[in-house]
Amino acid sequence: MIHKRFLNGIGPVAIMTATLGLLGCNPTPDASSPTSSTQNDSENASKQDTAFEQDSSSNSEKNLPDLESLKSGNMLYIVRDVAEMQSNAGSYIEQLKQSQSELQQAISSQDTATLQQSVTKLNTQLTELNQRLNGLSLKSQEVESIRRQILEVNQQALNTPLLNGKADLSKVNFEQIEKQLNSIQMDMLQLASLLIPKGDAEAENKS
């Protein structure tokens, strides 16, 4: 599971990452085919997947400014950047919450068709959110650091088998996934604290 410090503010992504951790990243090798050729093919495929993930991660941040070139401790820039992030990315809060709810329902009912739809929707939403975040012109180190954390976690989720189309959804262990939901409920509330005003977030949590 992703480190807690990166999960602060990454609500719906947390459940996707936990789900993928339970699914596993690599298929179980066929015990009836222990040839060295098969092993080499598996190793090569693993290396290619790793290279793809590293390249995708670097691409998600390739246009970001040098962190040291930005201002630190300037409240005017921080307030301005927070407003910029809320304006451009805040609309994805409800979308991600809805997709997370649909995912939970699919897990509870063990509905692979709905799970597939939720996965496709989440892929689109996370990709669009990354594009919005990359398009922001931020001036403070503090908010820029938050942007990079969100981009890192989003890209990690997008690189996983469930979201990149490599997972066999017919073999998902719904029971194991469901057991993890309670432990990550609080993580799924944190994204709102970054992208919507504090007062609104507190009111929503109380409701």
Q: Give 44-79 pLDDT, tens digit per residue.
A: 545 555 544 444 444 455 567 776 667 777 888 888
- The rounded distance, in Å, linking the Cα atoms of 198 and 143 is 15
Contact present, 145 and 67 (Cβ < 8 Å): yes
Between 10-24, 76-90, 98-112, 185-199, the lowest mean confidence (pLDDT) is in 10-24
Tokens at 40, concatenated: 């080499």
Confidence of residue 175 (pLDDT cuts 50, 70, 90): low
Helix (H, G, I), strand (E, B), or coil: what is residue 140? strand
Q: How confident is the model at residue 81 (pLDDT cuts 50, 70, 90)?
A: confident
Percent of the chain residues topping a pLDDT of 70:
47
CA distances from 28 to 32, 43, 200 (A): 12, 13, 46
pTM over 0.85: no
Beta bridge mates, 71:
140
The torsion angle over the Cα atoms of residues 134, 151, 24 and 47, rounded to 10 degrees, is 60
Give the per-residue pLDDT at 152.
80
Please tell me the total number of residues recorded for the chain in this structure.
207
* Residue 6 backbone zone (phi > 0: left; psi -120 to 50: alpha; other: beta): alpha
- What pLDDT, on the 0 to 100 scale, is given for residue 44? 52
Q: Kindly report the backbone phi and psi dihedral angles of residue 77, in degrees, each rounded to the nearest multiple of 5, phi listed first.
A: -70, -40
Using left for φ > 0, alpha for ψ between -120 and 50, and beta otherwise, residue 95 falls in alpha
Q: Express each pLDDT in 94-153 by its tens digit.
A: 787 788 788 778 877 888 888 888 888 888 988 998 898 899 888 888 888 888 887 887
User: b/e per residue, 155-177, with b = 16+ CB within 10 A?
Assistant: bbbbbbbbbbeebeeeebebeeb
At residue 2, the pLDDT reads 34
